[in-house]
Structure 1
């Protein structure tokens, strides 16, 4: 009889806790949708500051602006964390055309890839050889590649529902294409933009030369999907056509920048840290609203929403706006380095870096025990159509904080439109939906609230197996 009474009492406690948590989450969502600040912040970040290329004046302005806005929230502490970052500049707008006969040309849209060298003065013109993969270079060999521009034309795989899987399946040609093509004597590289949509926007992104000496490096640019298709069709009819492009980009010396950090100090466990963040830098073609202005302002609003909702965190909650995710990850590396030096215990880290689209859920990098706890919260999110809870990758900026026992997570919005804007000139404020952005901020706040309330299971998978 006592056992039955215990079960009934235990069930009542669980029911009461679940109801309380449900009410807290409802209040968070209501506050974000009726009194959110993320969209207002993004408006200023995008339209008054603009693209925030690492090391640029705009990146510096973004640091100043976000620090000032965090200070207005009345947090316990706001500070800047210095970090040295690379400074690559695009220079004058790129120009390119296809030449099918002397004087017969078709202009095409390209943009230099981040980290690329410039073409020689006056531009570069050469015959083109089309390939679908880096591996194909080996098959063709130096005899067929030397002196030509290599055109990497492998599209993102359209039948993959997980668009980041499609991105991962072809981004190697952008990142390492120039480095590999140069080994076979290529004089330049043109890469099909990482984009599932057919349009005229070239998409930039980081690339590497590895340990190639400066004298062996070749210029690399992205071409829009429409013009990639056009170039491929024209090559099928005329193997002797030439491609011309001109770009004046250059890599300068590293400069000092900052991570922007704000904190609410925990009332019970101040030495246990929960962080939420996005990256403050962006590429320069658009204003970086989706990548990653959205993640920045959502993360800022997490702390504001906690305060607005009257939640007094047990653990210290930090917002970290990382610098230099796009072309170096220097900010994330520095933050993790300092945290390790100070012996800070980061139990949970959440990142938003997949655009400001409708939130679908989260992916978690954690032990089975912690993931099972997360699954027990899933019902709390169902009223908001948040159903995606999976183990997997978290985010690039929180990755360096990984330990055997903590939890890393990434917000997972609907990704079907993300690569329409990713690293392109159309990644602008008008492409962000206010309601979707605010739903994301509420979803992140809700998860932070739950991890703060219940903590984590500090036992790693390995230790569970041994025990």
Structure 2
């Protein structure tokens, strides 16, 4: 019996020593990743070109086409095992000339305000649209007012993001329905147009665009929709309180065209042991036409490219196939994500892990995971490795819109979670520009993503499918 207990003690000591050795090896590897990213990183240079030499990359635009060519060439320069373009049909919507708007609280007394057309909106009639305006706080209040009080008027949705919520993406989700479905619902009550408060916690003069839907409404029933800056939304709301008969005028010349061909940009390092099993990292290459899409989502694209560059630079040979995917058309359709998932399904590819960066290039705080409880226990064991870099906020929750279609019972989806307090200051606005991105914060995010990919490549997932 004593001999048996002695053997158990020796075994326990050996396992503990082995675990410490493994953790030390991982710690050393993460240090190498962060050192290389912070000293010789390429992500900031790539982003500078995407932002300043190409600009806003709305699906179907010349700029999106140029971004496809540029990122493909840069991935080829890394010496990956394979780089290719995956065709996908995307919508083409053009903003037209700059929008113009004002409101009149008394006859002849007009106040010019800052607006921008929502993505996919119909244009105003030639010469613009002018009507009385009615303010509501959301879709429920719209329905409560009914057709009698809505017909022939412009609906002004003015529900702000909730400042009490520390997680700003939660605040965004709490009011974005009025932007997305506001025009569709208002048209059912005979409204002639829609103005929506910008999705931002900052009070300024910059309107924020974003996608919207008309559902299955026929073309003749589709009404124009625009976002108004938060500062001007407050001004308009105040004017309506003083004079409920205030009128609003706006003019926009946006137009939708037939779908056009574009591409997902894909590059990979083939796995040395399990080439048939894929780990994906990516962001979306398209952006809105306002600003240059530096945070949304140029940052996520270049960070994802940096993951593969770091592995090549450190001469790390992954067990699994590591694939970067720069998705097209996340902003107004998710066509790229759906096409990639469709092709993966048709090719019977096994994606064991997918990581997306689409929350800006700010200081990384950690990751959110879509996973089983068993997989999340494994993830929590890795937190100490990230603590020296202050990137150890690990939670179960969402991942990202582009990787979500890849979710299976056996795999794990994740999203990089940077500090989000400033993200919606710039999101979908003219102010989303390269000068708003901090080089070190961007590089820290790329290093954190590479570290997580490394751990998943080394240890796999709990429910990794067996061939």
User: What TM bracket, shorter-length normalisation?
Assistant: over 0.9
Aligned counterpart, 1:299: 304
1:34-56 deviation line (CA, Å, top 9, x unaligned): 00000000000000000000000
1:165 has 2:190 as partner: no
Tell me by how many angstroms 1:368 deviates.
1.0
Tell me by how many angstroms 1:99 deviates.
1.3
| CA RMSD after TM alignment | 0.8
1:312 has 2:317 as partner: yes
1:235-288 deviation line (CA, Å, top 9, x unaligned): 100111110000000110000000000000000110010000000000001000
Inter-partner Cα distance in structure 2 for 1:345 and 1:6: 36
Aligned counterpart, 1:252: 257
Aligned counterpart, 1:448: 453
Inter-partner Cα distance in structure 1 for 2:208 and 2:123: 17
1:324 has 2:329 as partner: yes
Inter-partner Cα distance in structure 2 for 1:73 and 1:233: 56
1:15 has 2:15 as partner: no
Unmatched tracts of structure 1, length 5 or more: 461-467
Aligned counterpart, 2:144: 139
Tell me by how many angstroms 1:102 deviates.
3.0
Tell me by how many angstroms 1:308 deviates.
1.2
Inter-partner Cα distance in structure 2 for 1:305 and 1:459: 25
Aligned counterpart, 1:188: 193
Q: Choose which of 400, 421, 443 in structure 1 pairs with 2:405.
A: 400
Tell me by how many angstroms 1:104 deviates.
1.7
Aligned counterpart, 2:134: 129
Aligned counterpart, 2:124: 119
Contact 2:75 2:267 in 1 (8 A): yes
Inter-partner Cα distance in structure 2 for 1:222 and 1:59: 23
Contact 2:105 2:240 in 1 (8 A): no
Aligned counterpart, 1:438: 443
Inter-partner Cα distance in structure 1 for 2:420 and 2:255: 32
Aligned counterpart, 1:275: 280
1:322-349 deviation line (CA, Å, top 9, x unaligned): 0000000000000000000000000000
1:67 has 2:99 as partner: no
1:414 has 2:419 as partner: yes
Inter-partner Cα distance in structure 1 for 2:106 and 2:140: 31
Aligned pair count reads 460
1:132-174 deviation line (CA, Å, top 9, x unaligned): 0101112111111110000000000001001011000000000
Tell me by how many angstroms 1:103 deviates.
2.5
Aligned counterpart, 1:342: 347
Inter-partner Cα distance in structure 2 for 1:141 and 1:188: 15
Inter-partner Cα distance in structure 2 for 1:138 and 1:352: 37
1:85-142 deviation line (CA, Å, top 9, x unaligned): 0001100100000112333211000000001000000000000000001011121111
1:264 has 2:266 as partner: no
Aligned counterpart, 2:380: 375
SS, match of residue 431 in structure 2: coil
Aligned counterpart, 1:43: 48
Q: Does the C-alpha gap of structure 1 residues 86 and 138 become closer, same or farther in structure 2, counting only changes over 3 Å?
A: same
Tell me by how many angstroms 1:459 deviates.
7.0
Aligned counterpart, 1:465: none
Aligned counterpart, 2:396: 391
Q: Choose which of 235, 241, 266 in structure 1 pairs with 2:240.
A: 235
Contact 2:299 2:442 in 1 (8 A): yes
Aligned counterpart, 1:224: 229
Inter-partner Cα distance in structure 1 for 2:339 and 2:205: 37
The two structures have a TM-score, normalised by structure 1, of 0.98
Aligned counterpart, 2:430: 425
Inter-partner Cα distance in structure 2 for 1:274 and 1:51: 29
Inter-partner Cα distance in structure 2 for 1:99 and 1:269: 67
Aligned counterpart, 1:359: 364
1:87 has 2:92 as partner: yes
Inter-partner Cα distance in structure 1 for 2:79 and 2:443: 21
Unmatched tracts of structure 2, length 5 or more: 1-5
Inter-partner Cα distance in structure 1 for 2:72 and 2:255: 30
Regions of 4+ moved over 3 Å: none
